[in-house]
Amino acid sequence: MRIVAGSRKGHRIAAPKGIVTRPTGDRVREAAFSLIGPIEGAAVLDLFAGSGAMGLEALSRGAARCVFVERDRAACRVIQTNLEKLRLTGAIVLNRNAGSALRDERARARSYDLVLADPPYDEWEEHAVPLASLLADVLEPEALVVIETSSRVEPELPLDLVTSRRYGSARITVFSR
């Protein structure tokens, strides 16, 4: 996998070994960021970060900061290694589940311009309710939320639907506040 655009364009990034994570492919990342538009100076929250590919892409494209949230320890180590290799700053890696991280961010009154969420495809239903109840509290007024799911799933959140597009076995759905 490579960074698609920005200051680290073309740099290779590592992905965790095994089948625990499913990194977002280059083509899908490029499509997602085309839908998102410019993110210069944005505060980004990357939930279910896996390899960190989406958040790393955001930092490469000019995001000011990114909080990576991933429950798998090995994946967190890969994200940290990728950050060090790419010499990207403004990042924090949290080894937590998404729900507890969102509750903590809400309690600390932290807010984000862009939230990226790529839960395991077979776990969308399990995560939909916590995301629906917690996301709005950590969003800036003009924030976007990008959800990656299986192409067969059409996620719903109590936010405004911007677009939903299929890319092979993946679906990218963009919501706004």
What average pLDDT does range 136-150 have in this prediction? 96
CATH number, domain containing residue 30: 3.40.50.150
Is 5 a member of any domain? no
Indicate if the pLDDT at residue 4 is higher than 80: yes
For residue 13, tell me if it sits in a domain. Answer: no
Q: Quick one: what percent of the chain has pLDDT higher than 90?
A: 79
* pLDDT value for 105: 96
**pLDDT (0 to 100) of residue 121:** 87
Domain that holds residue 138: 26-176
Which residues on neighbouring strands pair with residue 146, listed in sequence order? 116, 174
Can you give the pTM of this predicted structure? 0.93
Residue 65 lies in a domain: yes
Is 70 exceeded by the pLDDT of residue 144?
Answer: yes
Question: What local confidence, expressed as pLDDT, does residue 22 receive?
Answer: 62
Write the DSSP assignment of the chain as a string of letters: -B--SSTTTT-B----SSSS--PPPHHHHHHHHHHH---TT-EEEEET-TT-HHHHHHHHTT-SEEEEEES-HHHHHHHHHHHHHHT--SEEEEES-HHHHHHHHHHTT--EEEEEE---GGGHHHHHHHHHHHGGGGEEEEEEEEEEEETT-----SSEEEEEEEETTEEEEEEE-
- For all residues of the chain together, what is the average pLDDT? 92
Residue 21: predicted pLDDT: 57
In a domain, 109, yes or no: yes
pLDDT of residue 18: 61
Q: Is residue 87 part of a domain?
A: yes
Answer whether residue 34 is part of any domain. Answer: yes
Window from 13-22, 105-114, 124-133, 138-147 with minimum mean pLDDT = 13-22
For residues 101-126, average pLDDT: 94
In a domain, 50, yes or no: yes
Per-residue pLDDT tens for 116-126? 999 998 899 99
- Label each residue of 85-136 as H, E or C: HHCCCCEEEEECCHHHHHHHHHHCCCCEEEEEECCCHHHHHHHHHHHHHHHH
At residue 139 the predicted structure's pLDDT band, cuts being 50, 70 and 90, is: very high
Mean local confidence (pLDDT), 54-82: 96
Q: How many domains does the chain have?
A: 1
Q: What is the pLDDT of residues 23-58, one digit of tens each?
A: 677 788 899 999 999 999 999 999 999 989 999 999
Residue 152 belongs to a domain: yes
How many Å apart are CA 92 and CA 28, to the nearest integer?
24
